[in-house]
Amino acid sequence: MNKQLFFIFIASIFIASSCKVFNPDEVTPSYIYVDDILVNPTSTQGSSSDNIIDAWVYVDGSYIGTWELPAKIPIHAEGEYNLQIFAGIKKSGLTALRVTNEFMNSFDTTMNSIPNNLDSLTPIVTYESATFWIEDFEDPGVKFTKASYSDTNLLITNNASEVFEGNGTGKVKFANSHLLFEAKTNEPSFNSFPRGGRPVYLEMDFKSNEVLTIGIYHNNLSTSLIKEEYFNLNPSDGKWKKIYLDLSDVVSQQIRATEFEVYLEIKKNISSSPEVLVDNIKVIF
């Protein structure tokens, strides 16, 4: 063997041994299959309807990734491990902004990792302790007051074909002469909305053939309430949809505001006969 071949031979042995030292064999994973994540509210936290689309997964306190549901998730652990799954949503309905729901606790459990074994889970999460304002249209009155210039109003329908769940759903219907709908809350507890980026969420189920605008009124730097448009919900194509609106940014900007209200608005500009159904409106802070 000449010297050149000898050194190549020695180098190949060193590289092979180095790979073994610095790249040890990975743990053969086990798997968990998560078909869905469900919500279990208390009696004072309203409906269990949800639109949880992602599982944010932690193993022994370390984040291992986010999976869109349903998902088969590899677990690179040996033996017993602690599993945490957080509920993932689209922030304000935006597909590009996938976040955990800040008002939901994680699902926590202990699992045993067996190589190549598959465990199926349907995690159930709960809400954290917070202030809940709820309009589920199950009581005779409606917690939104029609604006003086609004052509139509938010009423309760008990028609089974229109009700999302329970006995009632909110409905806005336009006659041919109607052009605008607006109604807002009158809720003193909203005046204590937290600032500084702390979370304020609005959840809602809706079905609409028209753009539905959601915003807030506030009195920042003013003696009267100022209207602040926040988000436009596009028509839902004949289907019920669930939205999680993060109001934190728009609320936190109003540093000196002492009053807040939430409003709903519809303008006739797409459909000749706007009709909007809303249910399970929750403001959480």
Confidence of residue 39 (pLDDT cuts 50, 70, 90): very high
Give a yes or no: residue 7 inside a domain: no
Q: Is the pLDDT of residue 187 over 50?
A: yes
Q: How much is the average pLDDT of 253-267?
A: 97
- Eight-class DSSP state of 155: E
Question: Can you give the CATH number for the domain in which 153 is found?
Answer: 2.60.120.260
141 plus 279 within the same structural domain: yes
User: Above pLDDT 70, what percent of the chain?
Assistant: 91
188 plus 258 within the same structural domain: yes
pLDDT of residue 6: 38
275 plus 145 within the same structural domain: yes
Question: Can you give the CATH number for the domain in which 41 is found?
Answer: 2.60.40
Q: Is the pLDDT of residue 220 over 50?
A: yes
pLDDT of residue 10: 38
Q: What is the pTM for the complete model shown?
A: 0.88
pLDDT of residue 25: 54
155 plus 93 within the same structural domain: no
User: pLDDT per residue over 92-127, tens digit each?
Assistant: 888 888 999 999 999 999 999 999 999 999 999 999
pLDDT of residue 269: 85
143 plus 269 within the same structural domain: yes
93 plus 54 within the same structural domain: yes
Give a yes or no: residue 170 inside a domain: yes
Q: Is the pLDDT of residue 204 over 80?
A: yes
Q: Is the pLDDT of residue 20 over 70?
A: no
In the numeric block, which tokens belong to residue 258? 């002492």
Task: Tell me how far apart the alpha carbons of residues 154 and 260 are, in angstroms, rounded to a whole number.
Answer: 20
Give a yes or no: residue 199 inside a domain: yes
Q: Is the pLDDT of residue 4 over 60?
A: no
Give a yes or no: residue 5 inside a domain: no
CA torsion 243-244-250-255 (nearest 10°) is: 150
Confidence of residue 13 (pLDDT cuts 50, 70, 90): very low
pLDDT of residue 27: 84
pLDDT of residue 47: 98
Give the closest residue to 135 by CA, choosing from 22, 219, 232, 261: 261
Beta-carbon-side half-sphere exposure of residue 185 (alpha carbons within 13 Å): 22
The torsion angles phi and psi of 159, rounded to 5 degrees, stand at -65, 120
Confidence of residue 11 (pLDDT cuts 50, 70, 90): very low
91 plus 174 within the same structural domain: no
234 plus 213 within the same structural domain: yes
Q: How many separate domains does the chain show?
A: 2
Range of the domain at 238: 132-284
110 plus 145 within the same structural domain: no
Confidence of residue 205 (pLDDT cuts 50, 70, 90): very high
Amino acid at 19: C
Give a yes or no: residue 3 inside a domain: no
Residue the block writes with tokens 């609106």: 245
Give the closest residue to 74 by CA, choosing from 101, 19, 111, 105: 111
Task: Tell me how far apart the alpha carbons of residues 261 and 88 are, in angstroms, rounded to a whole number.
Answer: 27
56 plus 147 within the same structural domain: no
175 plus 44 within the same structural domain: no
Give a yes or no: residue 118 inside a domain: yes
97 plus 192 within the same structural domain: no
Q: How much is the average pLDDT of 19-40?
A: 77
- Determine how β-strand 38-39 pairs with β-strand 241-246: unpaired
Domain boundary, last residue among 125, 152, 186: 125
Q: How much is the average pLDDT of 199-218?
A: 97
Contacts of 90 (CB under 8 A, 6+ apart): 51, 53, 97, 98, 244
pLDDT of residue 95: 84
Residue the block writes with tokens 């909305």: 193
Give a yes or no: residue 6 inside a domain: no
Q: How much is the average pLDDT of 65-81?
A: 97
CB-CB contact of 131 with 200 (8 Å) = no
Give a yes or no: residue 17 inside a domain: no
